[in-house]
Amino acid sequence: MSDADDQAKRRTRWAEDRTVLANERTFASWMGTGLGAIGVAIGLKAVFGAFEPTWVAKAVASLFLLASILIFWSARRQAHKTLKRLSENDAEAQPVRNFTILAIVLTISALATGAVLWSL
């Protein structure tokens, strides 16, 4: 193999590494957006605590919780699609299982937040 071929392969590996890191940053950003939606849901309870009927404020907060769950699973799906395309090469990334576990934990957290908001 020539030196030019080695350099081309090295550049390809570096590009794959950058793509893996970008994928992980994007996933983390989506998770932050989902957590922000949960924050809005909690904030609605604080702002509209004396709102009547209370079920309306709780329903709106629940919409934000639902949005957060959709964001978590959309992020997981996109991260998985990107990693699947990269798996054809030698790029080393976090296993999809890590993305799935985080999406599950945050989904359970969002559902628990909803349960608490509805019980108040």
Closest CA to 100 of 72, 119, 81: 72
Digit-coded pLDDT (tens) for 61-74: 999 999 999 999 99
Closest CA to 91 of 27, 7, 26, 14: 14
Name which residue leads in pLDDT, 12 or 81: 81
Asked whether the whole model's pTM tops 0.85, one would answer no
pLDDT of residue 37: 96
Residues 16/91, Cβ–Cβ less than 8 Å:
yes
What percentage of the chain carries pLDDT values higher than 70? Answer: 94
Phi, psi (deg, nearest 5) at residue 116: -65, -45
pLDDT of residue 116: 92
Domains of the chain, residue spans: 3-119
Q: Which residues touch 59 (CB under 8 Å, ≥6 apart)? A: none
Name which residue leads in pLDDT, 44 or 38: 38
